[in-house]
Structures are given as structure tokens and as C-alpha cells.
């Protein structure tokens, strides 16, 4: 596709349920990032993938959060036993190179998660 796509665009779930958020990066982009943006806040880094591996998981807020990437393309962010404080917009970004810090990250439209 032309840009980063994310699905679903909106998700409402009940506290305690598991959710899966999907990100489809720009074709050919080897680096993929997940961020969280709470209402009116800046971006909080969650995890970064180089290809299928995640060298930096330092931003994951708890062990309820996990992410995987298969085939060097699509990534899934899973939140288990969701809590109300997980409500936020989850943004995915991709960049061309996995070795250069200069590469611009291009963002998807985000998934708005609401935990009731």
C-alpha cells in the first residue's frame, strides 16, 4: 500500500478482555515501531522491530503487552487482560532502513482503543 495502515481504526472492549491491534507497514520498510498516545499527551514509545526481531522492548508498560512481527511485514500488538488505563491511540510507524538512525518514520492513522 501507499502508506502505513492499521486496523481496526476503533476498538471498544470490556475490562479484562484481550485485544489485538494490527499494523501493515509501507512495503519495503524493514523497521517498524509501536507508540501509544494517551488523550492530549505526547507519544510514548512501546517497541521497535528490525525485520522480525525486537531489539528494543523497553517501552512495553507491562507483561500484558506483547508484539510480534512475521515475514518482515505485518505486526500485531496484543494487550491481554485490558485495563481502563490502556485506553489510548496506538500508533504504528515504519521506516525504510533498520540500520540508520536518520530514516524518517511514517505513521499510520492509529487505532483508538477504549476500555470500558
Binding site for another protein (CB under 8 A): 31, 33, 35, 41-43, 45, 48, 50, 56, 58, 89, 91, 93, 95, 98, 100-110
Closer of 72 and 109 to another protein (Cβ): 109
- Chain centroid to CA 61: 13
Nearest to 75 by CA among 1, 18, 7: 7
Closer of 60 and 89 to another protein (Cβ): 89
Closer of 37 and 66 to another protein (Cβ): 37
Give CA–CA dist 53/58, Å, rounded. Answer: 14
Amino acid at each position: 500500500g501507499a502508506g502505513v495502515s492499521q486496523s481496526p481504526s476503533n476498538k471498544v472492549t470490556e475490562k479484562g478482555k484481550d485485544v489485538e491491534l494490527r499494523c501493515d507497514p509501507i512495503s519495503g520498510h524493514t523497521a517498524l515501531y509501536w507508540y501509544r498516545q494517551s488523550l492530549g499527551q505526547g507519544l510514548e514509545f512501546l517497541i521497535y522491530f528490525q525485520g522480525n526481531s525486537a531489539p528494543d522492548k523497553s517501552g512495553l508498560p507491562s507483561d500484558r503487552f506483547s508484539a510480534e512481527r512475521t515475514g518482515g511485514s505485518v505486526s500485531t500488538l496484543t494487550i491481554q487482560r485490558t485495563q481502563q488505563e490502556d485506553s489510548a491511540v496506538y500508533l504504528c510507524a515504519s521506516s525504510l532502513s533498520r540500520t540508520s538512525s536518520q530514516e524518517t518514520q511514517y505513521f499510520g492513522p492509529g487505532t483508538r482503543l477504549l476500555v470500558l
